[in-house]
């Protein structure tokens, strides 16, 4: 490792296992002092799922990948790094404030925030309960806002800060994952807004959509595959499944992406949404642009006549228009 983050202080929420754990360990190897975090001691994944309702293979995989903030911190310290576990639900403002205060009291700074905490799951419009909706939305977008709210004033004083908000490729809309898609789309909107607010202070804000091995992926991904097959009657393209398997490798491979964007030389990169895969692929989403427009003829007033709109929509959408809703669940 290049020790490119020597002297920097990083907070990685949701870093007890999976993606967050990989990023926390990787940033520590680059020299950062890291506060690891998850809600409570012990693996939330093992507590949330019922072994009796899962295939034995999924359960064994989950157990092998389980952990918490303390176990991640111990890995970092065993490798000679500095780390401190912090337990608490950062979707609660008072907990997020305490976490930031802990970083300042312990190491006198908070330079890098990785808002990785999330509530994972699946569910359609008709099947989701209010509890499931809140679990998947509040834990990601509100938690990210809370930590930014309390940490940004310290970053503004230093004229330096790097904020990374975890989203998912589901932000573009994944059927039968309505709450999860909503949560991630909200994170992208938050990222764009905050990036524009904070750029003048030397603070960058980017969103990342990661793919890597995690306990939840071992369960929810397989569950989603079974759900898609039940609806469509078909297995997803085996080539795509092979690619997904390849991309969900060791999440520590994602850390260099965060480390590079934390450098001074990357201070102009902000307000972006990246997809990054543990297989080594990095992709950039384009910022939304208006692709069609129609206006009422000058002097005829703003009110469209309904029978005019067929031609208008043909003009706006183009001759080759295909509805996004008609595309496969596995197409972006």
Which residues are catalytically annotated?
180
The length of the chain is 332
Closest CA to 179 of 220, 230, 148, 229: 220
CA triple 27-30-33, angle to 5 deg = 60
Angstrom distance (rounded) from CA 7 to CA 9 = 7
Q: How far from chain centre, in Å, is Cα 283?
A: 14
Pairing of strands 33-38, 83-87: parallel
Contact 1, 30 (CB under 8 A): yes
Closest CA to 36 of 77, 74, 69: 69
Tokens standing for 180? 């999860």
């Amino acid at each position: 490792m290049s020790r490119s983050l020597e002297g920097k202080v990083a907070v990685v929420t949701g870093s007890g296992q999976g993606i967050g754990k990989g990023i926390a360990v990787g940033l520590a190897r680059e020299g950062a002092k890291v506060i690891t975090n998850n809600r409570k001691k012990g693996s939330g994944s093992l507590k949330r799922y019922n072994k009796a309702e899962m295939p034995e293979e999924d359960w064994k995989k989950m157990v092998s990948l389980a952990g918490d903030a303390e176990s991640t911190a111990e890995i970092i310290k065993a490798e000679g790094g500095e780390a401190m576990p912090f337990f608490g639900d950062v979707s609660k403002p008072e907990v997020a404030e305490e976490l930031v205060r802990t970083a300042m009291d312990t190491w006198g700074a908070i330079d890098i925030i990785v808002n990785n905490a999330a509530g994972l799951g699946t569910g359609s419009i008709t099947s989701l309960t209010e509890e499931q909706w809140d679990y998947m939305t509040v834990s990601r977008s509100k938690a990210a806002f809370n930590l930014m709210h309390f940490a940004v004033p310290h970053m503004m004083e230093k004229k330096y800060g790097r904020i990374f908000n975890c989203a998912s490729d589901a932000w573009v809309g994944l059927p039968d994952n309505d709450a999860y898609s909503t949560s991630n789309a909200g994170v992208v909107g938050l990222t764009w807004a905050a990036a524009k607010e904070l750029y003048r202070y030397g603070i960058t804000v980017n969103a990342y959509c990661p793919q890597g091995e995690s306990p939840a992926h071992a369960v929810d991904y397989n569950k989603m595959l079974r759900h898609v097959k039940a609806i469509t009657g078909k297995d997803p393209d085996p080539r795509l499944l092979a690619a997904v398997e390849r991309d969900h490798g060791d999440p520590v491979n994602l850390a260099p992406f965060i480390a590079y964007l934390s450098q001074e030389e990357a201070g102009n990169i902000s307000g972006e949404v990246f997809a990054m895969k543990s297989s080594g692929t990095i992709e950039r989403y384009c910022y939304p642009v208006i692709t069609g427009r129609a206006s009422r003829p000058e002097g005829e007033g703003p009110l469209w006549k309904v029978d005019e709109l067929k031609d208008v929509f043909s003009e706006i959408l183009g001759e080759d228009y295909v509805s996004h809703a008609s595309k496969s669940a596995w197409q972006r």
